[in-house]
Chains A and B, each alone.
Chain A
Amino acid sequence: MGKAIEAKDLNIYYGSFRAVEGVNMLIRPKTVTALIGPSGCGKSTFLRAINRMHEVVPGARVEGRLELDGEDLYGPGVDPVGVRRQIGMVFQRPNPFPTMSIYDNVIAGLRLNNKKLSKDATDEIVEKSLRGANLWNEVKDRLDKPGSGLSGGQQQRLCIARAIAVQPDVLLMDEPCSALDPISTLAIEDLINELKQDYTIVIVTHNMQQAARVSDYTGFFNIEGTGKPGKLVEMDETKTIFSQPKEKATEDYVSGRFG
């Protein structure tokens, strides 16, 4: 588990509008990569392109190459469903399935794909995933209760458990803490640190302290003006980005001078 992702000259479109232009990026396996930048600069779009969730939006498409350990994710005959099984995603707002219990939410990825598993096997996966998401102790006595009865932070960790239950190679997180309080945020950040032992993690965040705290590498996206495409300005080790960035725009952004 834990694979590398490489974008080569990637352009991402919504219909005729180019949202992201010419991204070249290498995301190393088993690291945490943070994507930062002002609103509307295309970092979420880029993230959604990685597991082909981008094309769920009508008219959305991608040009260029995006490789997972050398395999083109957009190559002919590649099934987006298969891509998403390898590249999991956690969304900005916690979105557990309201019709399912906590238990069913965790194994939703397996059960919805009609995997036939014994009760023991699913029990094991549920416990392992919930432990992995640091939620086991809080919910082990009420696994049959609805997932939507949990607090926001717990729901988000439930969504992380659900994402890692299918054992992906890569975990994408789209501002996973923006709807959470500081304590829940801390819990998720600790979790990210543990998860990078096994997974490649890409996280979009608006919170630069968070990027500095959790990530090994940071990519800075920027946009020249409304209607212009977003671009990857600079990508480097996180401490370099936050101490001696090469680009002036990056320095202005991380020091809070704009954005």
Chain B
Amino acid sequence: MTVDITKSPERVTAPSPQRRGLARRAQLPRWAVPGGLAASAAVVGLVLALVGFSTGLFVVGTVVLFTAGLYVASRIVEGSRKATDRLVTVIVTSAFGLAVIPLISVICTVVSEGLARFDVEFFSSSMRGVVGEGGGAYHAIVGTLIITGLAALMSIPVGLLTAVYLVEYGKGRLARAITFFVDVMTGIPSIVAGLFAVALFTYLVGPGARFGFAGSVALSVLMIPIVVRATEEMLKIVPNELREAALALGVPKWRVILKVVIPTSIAGIASGITLAIARVIGETAPLLVAVGLTTAMNVNAFDGRMATLPVFSYLSYATPGVPREPYLERAWTAALVLIIIVMVLNLLARLIARVFAPKTR
């Protein structure tokens, strides 16, 4: 209903159901929701104060009491339809709250634990010759950027072209097979990608070879299907009318794709690609087996082990030295840096989407 009947109090107090026209019913006042929530919190808080306080119980108790109270009050005052509406609203909001709790908890933990070593030294020195305190993850940050960058360099063209093939050219069995295997590949465990890269490079350059490029190959195995999927969905929503308009102007098909279809969907494609990068940049298992870890800076992805943030974090945490604390602090800070990189990538994706999006005025 768009009619705001709270503005006419006499109708609220004296509804006249016999009147023809729009049916009017009483409504709970605006403050019913915040007031009810505060009242439930107070009641549950008092009860818990008597038997012993616990945060989890307090939140759950408040939500349950509030939901029940609101439903009953709404059912009495507003009728069953509005009551159901309010009940479902509360359930949906609670589910959202439940989903957000782990996210906020992770961020809080990582920030509070990671801030201790979030200093200049962490970003300016490697672990070369460092035992115990000090040291940093400069080498791991550079390693992560190089390996992920190389992975992106391989995955983006392959993924983009595969998606163009599937949407614009692919008909029949081959396209269906590719779609199927892309779906399968989006689900493969990341360690399988790592083992694949190890096996491949064992075959090519001999056993025991660990270097950055092997990690890039492993990451692109994970990344290509994500890029294909994201791009495919974006290309599919480009209206067919635009393709026909360009074709009818006598433009060859490849040029229609290059100049009309891709520019129209570039915003979605760019953010999809950025999200794919964000998804693989934190992979640990494949890099652990394919790249390993070093304590010193290595910028040559084709020779020798490289440090990466996830592996650095994992190994500092799993096999710390003595004393333990500096290792654990460095592990948390590495995790924090990784989260920040992913966040920056996400913001970048939004920015790209905004810059490239078709404008209407």
Residues of A bordering B, CB below 8 Å: 51, 53, 56, 58, 81-86, 88-89, 91, 93, 95-99, 108-109, 112-114, 145-146, 148-149, 159, 162-163, 166
Contact = CB atoms under 8 A, between A and B. Distances in A.
Contacts of A98: 242, 264, 358, 360
A148 B248 contact: no
B136 to A, nearest CB: 45
Interface of B: 171, 239, 241-252, 255-256, 259-260, 263-264, 358-361
Contacts, number: 82
Contact of A162 (B241, B249, B264): B249
A166 B249 contact: yes
Contacts of B360: 98, 146, 148-149
Given A97-B264, A99-B263, A99-B358, A81 B252 contact: yes
A112 B244 contact: no
A114 B252 CA distance: 11
B246 A108 contact: yes
A97 B242 contact: yes
Nearest to B265: A99
A84 B248 contact: yes
B247 A84 contact: yes
A7 B131 CA distance: 87
A51 B264 contact: no
Contacts of A159: 245
Contacts of A84: 247-250
Contact of A109 (B171, B242, B251, B361): B251
Given A81-B250, A89-B248, A95-B241, A112 B361 contact: no
Given A81-B250, A145-B361, A166-B250, A91 B264 contact: no
Given A97-B264, A99-B264, A146-B360, A88 B241 contact: no
A252 B283 CA distance: 72
Given A84-B250, A91-B245, A97-B242, 18 more contacts: A56-B243, A56-B247, A81-B251, A81-B252, A86-B250, A93-B241, A95-B241, A95-B242, A95-B244, A95-B245, A97-B264, A98-B358, A99-B358, A108-B249, A146-B358, A146-B361, A162-B249, A163-B249
Contact of B246 (A58, A112, A145): A112
Contacts of B249: 84-85, 88, 108-109, 112-113, 162-163, 166
A83 B247 CA distance: 11
Contact of A113 (B239, B242, B250, B359): B250
A214 to B, nearest CB: 21
Contacts of A81: 250-252
A58 B264 contact: no
Nearest to B359: A146
Given A112-B255, A149-B361, A56 B260 contact: no
- Most chain B beta-carbon neighbours within 10 Å: one of A88, A95, A166: A95
Contacts of B264: 97-99
A148 B264 CA distance: 12
A82 B361 contact: no
Contacts of A83: 250
Nearest to A101: B359
Contacts of A95: 239, 241-242, 244-245
20 contacts: A53-B248, A81-B250, A84-B247, A91-B248, A97-B245, A98-B242, A99-B263, A99-B264, A109-B249, A112-B259, A113-B255, A146-B358, A146-B359, A149-B359, A149-B361, A162-B245, A162-B249, A163-B248, A166-B249, A166-B250
A82 B252 CA distance: 9
Given A81-B252, A84-B249, A109-B251, A56 B359 contact: no
Closest 3 CB pairs of A and B: A85-B250, A98-B358, A109-B249
A123 to B, nearest CB: 19
Given A51-B248, A81-B251, A98-B264, A112 B241 contact: no
